[in-house]
Amino acid sequence: MSRKRTGRLLAALVFSTALVSLPAGQSAASEAEQCTWQRTEWELPAGTEIGSVEGYDGSRYAVGVTGQRPLLGGNIVDPRGTLWDDGTVVLRAGDRFPQFRDVNSAGIVVGSTIADDGFIGVTIDHDGTPTALPADPEWTGYSAWAINNAGDIAGWAHIGTQTNLVVWPGDAPGTYRETAAPELSSRFLVDIDEQGRVIVQTDSGAGGGFVVGPDGRWHGLAPAGEADFATPQAIRDGRIVGSSDNAVAEWDAQGTLIDTIGDGAISARAIGGSGTIAGTAFVSGSTARVVLWRDGVLVDQPIPNQFALTGLSDDERTIVGSEARIPSHYRCS
């Protein structure tokens, strides 16, 4: 589930603590969705001070990184993978490896570690034990980046200078599907939906983003307006959201642009189980905040403070991320 994932080429956005008004014409929609959002700080492992959330299953499990606050700069000191269950620490890695990238509703954690002087993709037990995913002996390295609730795992395999997309299907343990990727100067695996579709971010010169179907076909995402690239952030049941041309954008499973949201929208970050989109928008001048859209209409601004958004729960009543570098969630009550 998605990641996904902070630490996935996404800078944490800083949001004003000032209270602001809804844009004109939006107050009725918000009032219809009245909700009291309560913040809960997550538990941090002993000896740690800060953290970030990288992946969220949409219900209870989340993975990220925890460590100490730096004296200077923004990097976490002694960063180690961490698994939470509804905000309670289940596991913190004993070292910098294995890295934790994503987790599904069964609590299966995927990531990467080092073996034989190279990276390998792994699943990670709740006691911290990594298990290597099946691999082709010709691969010079491979990694796992995303997992869905069906158990499908998506990642990359390297053969010399070639990088291929790999999916390890949950319904066929011990097997994998390998798909050649286009020649790209950069690539970042963002998310996988329950049907096994994968979204990939790339450089703007290559169009910015792709969706790859279970048949292995790569579809570029059509940019919006005057833009020449599009950036995907989440996929659910073939519905893709992200940003393009200074607006929130939505695409279908073939990469066709089907909708945009303007009015200060910055980017979509997650899709809830009933179709609500969570993302960020300028709601009053230069003030950017976490917001929720439904059917293209802004329906709520749930978080008044600084918050780096990672995910929205399946029931759309919990928003997960970090506030002031402390993993947290806001829950509707």
Distance CA 87, CA 203 (A): 34
Residue 326 CA to its chain's centroid (Å): 17
> What is the share, in percent, of the chain residues with pLDDT greater than 70?
90
pLDDT confidence tier of residue 27, bands split at 50, 70 and 90:
very low
Element (H, E) at 213: none
Q: Render pLDDT for 237-285 as a digit per residue (tens, 0 to 9).
A: 999 999 999 999 999 999 999 999 999 999 999 999 999 999 999 987 7
Q: Residue 30 carries which DSSP code?
A: H
For the stretch 104-135, pLDDT in tens is 999 999 999 999 889 999 999 999 999 999 99
Other Cβ atoms closer than 10 A to 15: 21
Q: Which residue has the higher pLDDT, 275 or 19?
A: 275
pLDDT at 6 over 90: no
Strand arrangement, sheet containing 177-180: 141-147, 153-159, 162-168, 177-180
- Each residue's pLDDT tens digit, 299-321: 999 998 889 999 999 999 999 99
Please calculate the CA angle 190-193-198 and round it to the nearest 5 degrees: 45
| Entry pTM | 0.91
**Angstrom distance (rounded) from CA 325 to CA 67:** 11
Write the pLDDT tens digit of every residue in 67-104: 999 999 889 999 999 999 999 999 999 999 999 999 99
- State both tokens at 272: 């809830």
What is the mean predicted confidence (pLDDT) over 283-307?
Answer: 91
Q: What pLDDT does 16 receive?
A: 33
Mean pLDDT of 209-222: 98
Residue 7: what pLDDT?
40
Q: Which domains does the chain have, with CATH numbers?
A: 27-332 (2.130.10.10)
Q: From residue 81, how far is each of 76, 77, 96, 156 by CA, in Å?
A: 12, 12, 7, 20
- ∠ CA 307-313-314, nearest 5°, is 160
Describe the chain by its helix, strand, coil percentages, rounded to 5: 5, 50, 45
Instruction: Between 10 and 136, name the one with better pLDDT.
Output: 136
Digit-coded pLDDT (tens) for 154-197: 999 999 999 999 999 999 999 999 999 998 999 999 999 999 99
Residue 286 pLDDT grade (very low, low, confident, very high; cuts 50, 70, 90): confident
